[in-house]
Structure 1
């Protein structure tokens, strides 16, 4: 059994910055515990980091979500302080889902992949579905208590979507 924990976009701008929510702040301690447990179990861990340039507002995403966030090199782009000590492998991604993450997981033939992080309804669901496409026989799960969406309602909807796509919701 080869395990991977994917920590999705636990960045300052998504937790308590320009796109932060109280629900995102609430999950930080649980995500820290999840990462600590994974380290103790010698589970591989990869962090994703939403990464935009200074031209963000001129991009398609910027036009549809005109809130500057996660600009490379800014404090909001950084992984939140409580998780920084655990960051070793990072995949920067310019959009919601990361094909690089899917290729990384497929090349290493992970059999069990768990996702936690932000936002359930955008980046977590996008990456979970890409991982399921890349590794259809892998056990892919999402810990709902360690995720938060843009709203509580969209969080629940994303969990249902993933469940329908044979992703286990913990």
Structure 2
């Protein structure tokens, strides 16, 4: 059985957000078009969201107050739980989403596999419970959270396809390197 994993298509990761990625809004719309045409191809549509704590640095994920983020392991404040920045981007149609996964609650988290459902089921357990053997992956950002999700899906023994045109990255060079790494790990790209 196959699932679609939609990674972090949130307001803070599209243009105008605190960590906006060029092309993020277009990707949100393209994922919605894909779902309109292909939702029935999937046993589940799982969407992940960064869901960071408002207080503190989330275990060093946010740059400490008074310091600049290095954009490698420390970041500006983003996707704080229940704020507008943490909500799905408006262009993403959410009616076909069957499971919502939150990650990064008090810590750094890149892969959707680090998340849990609203009722606390870890993502790997959810996929096992649903009998998922293959996943299509789409979302933001190619070179960070999409990359980490694809690599974890491969480590979990799943067949993985990165959907062309349905992901956007922070930078061209790091996105190209991430796509090569995903392909080297056995993902179809």
TM exceeding 0.5: yes
1:96-107 alignment to 2 at 5 Å?
A: 96-97=110-111, 98-99=113-114, 100-107=122-129
Pairwise mapping of residues 14-163 of structure 1 onto structure 2 (< 5 A)?
14-16=13-15, 17-57=17-57, 59-63=59-63, 64-86=73-95, 87-94=97-104, 95-97=109-111, 98-99=113-114, 100-134=122-156, 136=157, 138-163=158-183
- State TM-score, norm by structure 1: 0.88
In structure 2, the residue matched to 1:4 is 3
> Where does structure 2 lack aligned partners over 5 or more consecutive residues?
64-72, 115-121
Q: How far 1:56 moved relative to its partner?
A: 4.8
Moved over 3 A (4+): 40-43
Gapped runs of 5+ residues in structure 1? Answer: none
Aligned length: 166
The answer to whether the Cα contact below 8 Å between 2:142 and 2:178 also exists between their aligned partners in 1 is yes
- What SS does the corresponding residue of 2:62 show, helix, strand or coil? helix
In the superposition, the TM-score normalised over structure 2's length comes to 0.80
What is the alpha-carbon distance in structure 1 between the residues aligned to residue 58 and residue 45 of structure 2? 33
After superposition, the CA RMSD in angstroms is: 1.7
Q: C-alpha distance in 2, partners of 1:12/1:147? A: 15
